[in-house]
Chains A and B, each alone.
Chain A
Amino acid sequence: MSPPGARTRLFLVDDHQLFRSGLRAELEGQFDIVGEAGDVDEAVAGIASLRPDVVLLDVHLPGGGGATVAEAVNRLGIEETRFLAISVSDAPEDVIGVIRAGARGYVTKSIAPSELADAIRRIRSGDAVFSPRLAGFVLDAFRGELPSAIDPELDQLTPREREVLRHIARGFTYKEIGVRLNVSAKTVETHVSSVLRKLQLSSRYELTRWAMDRRMI
């Protein structure tokens, strides 16, 4: 990883050349775009040799999809690279799939350029990035108490986490949420990271079933 003061080294993965060049034009001034790739193999090879700080990862890719890239990079033991998933897909199973594969956030491709840049910076600093849509998915998937939860620590959200997610879904920024809940923005971050961990580690059967029930096809 590049030293904290340096510009964030960014890697773009998207099979649509046009979209990639669009992203490049938007982000070039603020980040150091070290490479890009259009499919899974290219992406894994590029990330392994360039070791970027953040990978902007398309969910749909020829050769296995974004989740495959994240898993392969994980298997190589590369821990300093963080993934932000970006997709035109709002299909829950895609979103949940790529998050469970290790991505630390998810945004849709219609996100405004300035928000995207913010999201990349947050991912770089180790935070989680939840779009309102993702927050809604998580609330939906973790809905209701589970009397038979295998690991309540992981399989359920705390009331506070729910509250934070609800605020994200309502469109508030982390800072605004902090003010409204009378905590620091850092505390909000901690809650979101904890939800991300639950999302990645929960064995909750409902999570998969929910995503399958609401899948695209």
Chain B
Amino acid sequence: MSATSATHDTQQTDGSDGSGRRPLLVRSRTDRVLSGTAGGLPETWGVDPLLVRLGLAVLTAADGAGIVLYLVLWALSAEPSATTPGRDVRVRPRSRQIIAVGCIVIGGMLVLQGIGLWLGDALAWPVALAAGGSALIWARSDEGDRSRWTRISERIPGNPVVTVFGGRVSALRVVGGGLLIAAGMTIFLVANRALASTRTAFLAVVVTAAGLGLILGPWILRLARDGAEERRQRIRSEERAEIAAHLHDSVLHTLALIQRSEAPADITALARRQERELRAWLDHRPAPWTEQDLRGAVDALASRIEELHHVTVDTVVVGDAPISENIGALLLACQEAATNAARHSGAPRVSIYVEADADGVTAYVRDDGRGFDIDAVPPDRRGLAESVIGRMRRHGGTATVTSRPGQGTEVQLQLPRTAA
């Protein structure tokens, strides 16, 4: 099978008749009225499709030999592979296909009538009409539409509409098909002189149909709307993925290169900030400056410090929590501690680690800079005492500072769950 499709692919792209192995006959994907058999014959053998169709039509007049030949050819030919480029099956308008099928059915019935295999006009024609209507409703639409509708119907539990209409709900098709069925039924009843006695039953059918329409109508409308919305969403997310992949390959790499280079500190800080914002966007997180979640807020305070003090601030956030007033206070204390580290420690890098779990929120701000002797801090240096320790205490939390000269500094901020 794979060999078949491969040869067919080459043949399609070449556009010539070629000379390699290939199946006897491949149906056409592009030139197709019914099954693509008549269109595929010329593609494989290099004959004009019009000649083939004309020949088949003439042969059909000769006691239906054309139909038999067509069926034989159809059975012998292979369906083109799905990977073939230019895969639009509906190059021919559907209406023409429908007319073609209709003509063949009518022709077939005339042949049957001619040779005497016939149940009578009063039965055969109405049934054919109704069958045509039913076929119109049940005709399947193309694959893309169907898979999309299947996805929607999975989201809406217990949904019979999609199964009934087998895919795209085309109002026109359903109405047309319904009319054909109704006409078939009416002709049948009239022709069998049974209309008078079934008048009430007919009325009941009409009322029931109207009721069904009322019930299903809004649902169908909603499904149609959902389908359009789903499609838009899909297109958007595909576009987004493409943009993201591109940004990833180009911009993020460039930003990383700048950060590794010998560029001035403010350029590096700028690159880091750009990277952070881009990442947040790629991550589907709100932009850092909106600060709706813990992760975003920590990123935001980190980039503020990076910009102001030209140090690198590494952030790691585990878990998440909504930003309450007390957590906001913890973040402010965190920012103050990190600013202190950036200004006084002399270390090029500050680490912020924030963890939110069942016990509350804990934050660590650490540098491996010069450190200091906690007991020797003059009382006028209020920064740490007031804005970190005092703030945490006021909001029901604690702050612990660990530092020794030459050993770096770590500030631990803790907010118990009851206060978070």
- Chain A residues engaging chain B, CB cutoff 8 angstroms: 16, 18-19, 22, 60, 88-91, 108-110, 113, 132-133, 135-136, 139-140, 143, 166, 169-172, 214, 216-217
In the assembled complex, the CB of B2 is this many whole angstroms from the nearest CB of chain A, namely 22
Give chain B's interface residues, CB within 8 Å of chain A. Answer: 237, 240-241, 244, 248-249, 252-253, 255-257, 259-260, 272, 279, 282-284, 312, 314, 316-319, 349, 351, 353, 355, 357, 364, 366, 368, 410
Q: Which residue of A lies closest to B249 (CB)?
A: A60
Q: Are A143 and B357 in contact (CB under 8 A)?
A: yes
Contacts of B312 in A (CB 8 A): 110
Q: Once bound together, how far apart are the Cα atoms of A109 and B283, in whole Å?
A: 18
Q: Which B-chain residue is minimally distant from A132 (CB atoms)?
A: B316
A217 pairs with B241, CB closer than 8 A: yes
The answer to whether A169 and B316 touch (CB under 8 A), given A60-B249, A88-B253, A88-B256, is: yes
In the complex, what residues of A have CB within 8 A of residue B364's CB? 170
Known contacts A170-B364, A171-B368; A139/B355 CB under 8 A: yes
Whether the Cβ atoms of B237 and A169 lie closer than 8 Å is no
Q: Cβ of A143 and Cβ of B248 under 8 Å apart?
A: no
4 closest residue pairs by CB, A with B: A171-B351, A136-B316, A109-B256, A88-B252
B248/A171 in contact, CB under 8 A: no
Shortest beta-carbon distance, A134 to chain B, in Å? 9
A108 / chain B contacts, CB cutoff of 8 Å? 256
Report yes or no: A60 in contact with B248, Cβ–Cβ below 8 A.
yes
What is the CB-to-nearest-CB distance from A133 to chain B, in angstroms, rounded to a whole number? Answer: 6
Bound complex: CA A110 to CA B316 (Å): 15
Looking at the assembled complex, report how far the CB atom of B290 sits from the nearest CB atom of chain A, in whole angstroms.
18
A-B contact pairs, 8 of them (CB 8 A): A60-B248, A88-B255, A91-B282, A113-B260, A132-B351, A132-B353, A166-B353, A217-B244
In the complex, what's the smallest C-beta–C-beta distance from B24 to chain A, in angstroms?
A: 38
Most buried by B among A89, A132, A139, A171: A171
A110 to B357, CA, bound (A): 29
A140 and B318 contacting across the interface, CB-CB below 8 Å: yes
Q: A19-B257, A22-B257, A216-B283 are in contact. Are A169 and B318 (CB under 8 A)?
A: yes
Whether B283 lies near A214 (C-beta < 8 A) is: yes
Chain A residues near B317: list those with CB within 8 A. 136
Q: Give Cα A133–Cα B364 distance, bound, in whole angstroms.
A: 14
Chain B residues contacting A172 (CB-CB under 8 Å) are 366
The one of A18, A91, A140, A171 that contacts B314, using a Cβ cutoff of 8 Å? A171
B283 to chain A, nearest CB (A): 6
Given contacts A169-B316, A217-B240, contact A89 B248 (CB under 8 A): yes
When A132-B351, A132-B353 are in contact, do A217 and B282 touch as well, CB less than 8 Å? yes
Contacts of B318 in A (CB 8 A): 136, 139-140, 143, 169
| B353 engages A169 (CB within 8 Å) | yes
Across-interface contacts of B319 in A (CB, < 8 A): 140, 143
B235 CB to nearest A CB, Å: 14
Specify the chain A residue showing the minimal Cβ separation from B312: A110
Q: A7 to B336, alpha carbons, bound, how many Å?
A: 45
- CB contact under 8 A between A170 and B366, given known A22-B260, A217-B241, A217-B244: yes
How distant is the Cα of A132 from the Cα of B249 in the complex, in angstroms? Answer: 24
Q: Which residue, B241, B259, B318, has most C-beta atoms of chain A within 10 A?
A: B318
- Among residues of A, the one whose C-beta sits closest to the C-beta of B410 is A170
What are the residues of chain A within 8 A of B283 when measuring CB–CB? 91, 214, 216
CB neighbours (8 Å) of B316 from chain A are: 132-133, 135-136, 169-170
B282 to A216, Cβ gap below 8 A? yes
Docked Cα-Cα span, A217 to B247, in Å, equals: 13
Which residue in chain A gives the minimum CB-CB distance to B363? A170
Residue numbers in A under 8 Å from B253 (CB-CB) = 16, 19, 88, 109
